[in-house]
Amino acid sequence: MSETALTTAPVALDPAFENVWDELVWRGLVHVSTDQEALRALLGGDPITYYCGFDPTAPSLHLGHLVQLLTLRRIQLAGHKPLGLVGGSTGLIGDPRPTAERTLNTRETVAEWVDRLRAQVSRYLSFEGDNAARMVNNLDWTAPLSAIDFLREIGKHYRVGTMLKKDAVAARLNSDAGISYTEFSYQILQGIDFLELYRQYDCVLQTGGSDQWGNLTSGTDLIHRVEGVSVHAIGTPLITNSDGTKFGKSEGNAIWIDAEMTSPYAFYQFWLSTADADVVERLKVFTFLSSAEIAEYAALVESEPFRRAAQKRLALEVVTTVHGAEATAAVIAASDALFGQGDLAALDATTLRTALEELPNATVPAGTPVVDALVATGLVSSASEARRAISQGGVTLDGERVADDSALVQGTLPGGVSVLRRGKKTLAGVFIG
């Protein structure tokens, strides 16, 4: 097996599993659920309609949402009919966080984010064939609902004692912040969604993160009380790193799937830096590689970890899924060139600039001495240290070794930038301005 696969896995189910339920379990995507035997029979039988909801509390989805998007796609590949719900109404309220009340966004902001998230979700589903996906917005059925109708038709089916036991509510009640009636009522709104989708589309399954289990069962319980039928829910695990840290967070910043919020280069480097202890599980959750292929990469992690073959394949697969093959090829070329395995001058200007923005960097006038640029970017702490590094042959500018300290930075690479390297792996970007 080559270190870097030239093509990505087809978007398909693993033929080793007869039932998509079994594949979901093998991939570690079922943390909690309603009756497992019933779910296995349901997913192995005639096509059903199922859904997952996404609230517009930010202008982009992030890696936690990507778990749900790929789960939606896997179940669709088994012949079932997905509903992608973007919460125009629930986004106006906000799911209770464990620590503090959310700041409510304006209606205009939420409407704008609904459109953005709708476009993102749509990219992961197929809208063709007998099991074509459909996008829905819960504002369509909650906006016409009066307060009296809400209390009479929905509120009477909820018991406050049960609502207080939900994890998110209980956490907030035990915090200094407390919880408002607005956020306390969120679980009812999500219950209404499932009921409405059951009535309109015969939707019988909801998927979501396990931290949403209280909200998922709000819907299953409501449908059972109102309609007298049993429907189902699957809660996927919250993805964490093997060291216990929260997955997808770096210094408080989420990893977004919007290219303007997290550049494809930064996205690629995130996956490439996956720890050996985590990479096999990431391949299961975030790629369409088969169980046999993943077993091969697991063996390589054990036998040749220094090659990081599994991490390279993981990065290739996920970046291609999220940003497309062209963007992935560009960021791989940039990554290789920056670390001495390609031609910097041949890179796409936009990709090169976004890559350098992820590195230590500085903006200097054209014609700045390399010595000053080394100090400005933080690659050295002083001009004397810069001169010493140059004299020892340890500095390159735009891929060429700097022969003496009279060299100047001109920004000769695409986009008017330059790349400084000290030693083998310490890089910095220089922007001319």
Question: Among the three residues 185, 205, 236, which one is the final residue of a domain in this structure?
Answer: 236
pLDDT in tens, 32-45: 999 999 999 999 99
Contact 234, 38 (CB under 8 A): no
Which amino acid, 382?
S
**380, β-bridge pairs:** none
pTM: 0.91
**Is residue 75 located within the same domain as residue 204?**
yes
How many folded domains does the chain comprise? 2
Instruction: Look at residue 294 and tell me if it is in a domain.
Output: no
Instruction: Look at residue 187 and tell me if it is in a domain.
Output: yes
Instruction: Look at residue 133 and tell me if it is in a domain.
Output: yes
CA 218 to chain centre: 26
CATH of residue 147: 3.40.50.620
Q: What pLDDT was estimated at residue 252?
A: 63
Domain that holds residue 378: 357-433
Contact 318, 385 (CB under 8 A): no
Q: What pLDDT was estimated at residue 1?
A: 39
CATH of residue 396: 3.10.290.10
Q: What pLDDT was estimated at residue 6?
A: 56
Enumerate residues 6+ apart whose C-beta is below 8 A from 27. Answer: 284, 285
pLDDT below 50 — which residues of the chain?
1-5
Q: Where are the alpha helices (DSSP H) in 143-206?
A: 147-149, 160-164, 167-173, 181-184, 186-201
Instruction: Look at residue 46 and tell me if it is in a domain.
Output: yes
Q: What pLDDT was estimated at residue 250?
A: 60
Q: What pLDDT was estimated at residue 3?
A: 41
Q: What pLDDT was estimated at residue 167?
A: 81
Alpha-carbon gap, residue 83 to 76, rounded angstroms = 10
The tokens of 264 are what?
A: 């494809």
Instruction: Look at residue 260 and tell me if it is in a domain.
Output: no
**Is residue 372 located within the same domain as residue 229?**
no
Instruction: Look at residue 155 and tell me if it is in a domain.
Output: yes
